[in-house]
Amino acid sequence: MKRALGNWIMNLSRRWMDDAIPAEQLAAFLEKHPLQPEAETVVIDTEAAHTWLSNLPDGKVLANGKLVPGSGCMLDWLAGHGDEAAKALVDDNLERLLRHVEVKRKEALVVQQDTFDIDTLWLERHAVAVLFCHQARRNHDLRFLNAALKLNDWAFPLYQKPVSELRLASYLRALTEQEQVGQELLA
């Protein structure tokens, strides 16, 4: 089973790589347009994470089918640094997110917000893809890698035209995590 899934993922990767930008073009682009870090870096600490966790509606990151902003980063941090109670809540929410992505497909992970911002939507989706990759690595669970592959595959057509540098960097990070975890788990 593992070999069949590995072959399927490798075939999918080859198909994606056929459409990929050559490394020289990407290097030239990054030289001309260096990615600038945000002026204000968000630091997650235990107190901030537990405050965020306590403000979740009913302890769920999906409220009325919409994702609470910051869920990807916070759940990832809590999965690695939280206490046992927080980790149990993280595991429960990860299973919910996984089911949500499987059922809603491309319409999954709409962010709960007052005004619609496409960058916020995709930054959160990419953060969840990274979260899924990290969870796949932590638990050796290919279901999470599969969900990350789907999220990144659905996002690919959007990057055929120019987008914000932050959004592109977030997508490239999600792809990098996906490839690293894929190599580790399928080797």
pLDDT at 157 over 70: yes
Rounded to the nearest angstrom, the gap between the alpha carbon of residue 133 and the centroid of all alpha carbons in its chain is 7
Q: Per-residue pLDDT tens for 130-156? A: 999 999 999 999 999 999 999 999 888
Residue with tokens 């899934």: 5
For Cα atoms 66, 39, 179, give the angle at the middle one, nearest 5 degrees. 60
Least confident of 26-35, 62-71, 73-82, 175-184: 26-35
Task: Please state, for a pLDDT cut of 90, what percent of the chain lies above it.
Answer: 29
The rounded distance, in Å, linking the Cα atoms of 176 and 26 is 14
Question: What is the reported pTM?
Answer: 0.74
Tokens of 136: 């796949």
Mean pLDDT rounded to a whole number for the chain: 80
The rounded distance, in Å, linking the Cα atoms of 34 and 7 is 35
